[in-house]
Amino acid sequence: MTAAGLTSLAVSWWSSPIDRSIDDGGATDTYFPRLDPVAFAARGVVPVAHAAFAFVLGVALGLVIRRTLPAMATTFALYAAVQIAVPMWIRSHLAAAERTTVPIEPDGAPVSIQEGAEEIVAHPEVPGAWETSQQTLNAAGHPAPVPSSFADCLRTGSSPPTLQQFEGCLADLGALGYEQQVTYQPAGNFWTLQWAETGLYLGLALALSGFCAWWIRRRAV
């Protein structure tokens, strides 16, 4: 835990000029904002809680399995699963998110397409934010799939569409009233998310510690 804390302190200190630049509207194409799932886990107080949870998880599995290598392998697998699950499904709900709706137009927020032009991703100018979800809205403001006419507009045979063609198709889609709703965690939520996730991991560590005490007393009887 001490090593994790010192490493996090060093990383946070080294990257602080980059973080300030991004939060102030700097170049986000070059550096990840500190709310990015990978960067977030290496900053602040969260790494200390991660280390505490990993240690107690290993102790608990060692008590139950009672074989060193299988316990180590199981600890690694479970810890990796938790480290994947928390950023994907839990972290974004630990603080109140914000939403913004941006029009789909060539001169608006940068837009990219995915899944064969069946999904649109907008990137509004929100410095340092972590975009957690996207939704396409129709002219009535209701969630709707991207119309097939957009994919037809982009179809050029074997070659990719030109920039002018792409912008023209975006303009046609915007003229139909389609917009993109973006849900994100603002940069100001960094410490709120840090303390919330720290509490989550320390709570898990305490629960596992209680389990270890119960398991030892149970086997001693």
Beta bridge partners of 179: 103, 137
Residue 30 pLDDT greater than 50, yes or no: no
Q: Which domain holds residue 21?
A: 2-94+188-220
Same domain for 23 and 68, yes or no, is yes
Residue 174 pLDDT greater than 80, yes or no: yes
Same domain for 89 and 195, yes or no, is yes
Same domain for 146 and 167, yes or no, is yes
Element (H, E) at 121: strand 119-122
Same domain for 72 and 155, yes or no, is no
Residue 59 pLDDT greater than 90, yes or no: yes
- Provide the pLDDT for residue 29: 47
Same domain for 32 and 105, yes or no, is no
SS3 call for 56: helix
Do residues 40 and 32 lie in contact, with contact meaning Cβ atoms separated by under 8 Å? Answer: no
Same domain for 119 and 170, yes or no, is yes
* Prediction pTM value: 0.88
| Overall domain count for the chain | 2
Same domain for 170 and 129, yes or no, is yes
23 falls in which pLDDT band (50, 70, 90)?
low
pLDDT tens digits for 83-122? Answer: 999 999 999 999 999 999 999 998 888 898 887 778 999 9
Select from 199, 1, 7 the least CA-distant residue to 91: 199
- Provide the pLDDT for residue 170: 93
Same domain for 55 and 76, yes or no, is yes
Residue 31 pLDDT greater than 70, yes or no: no
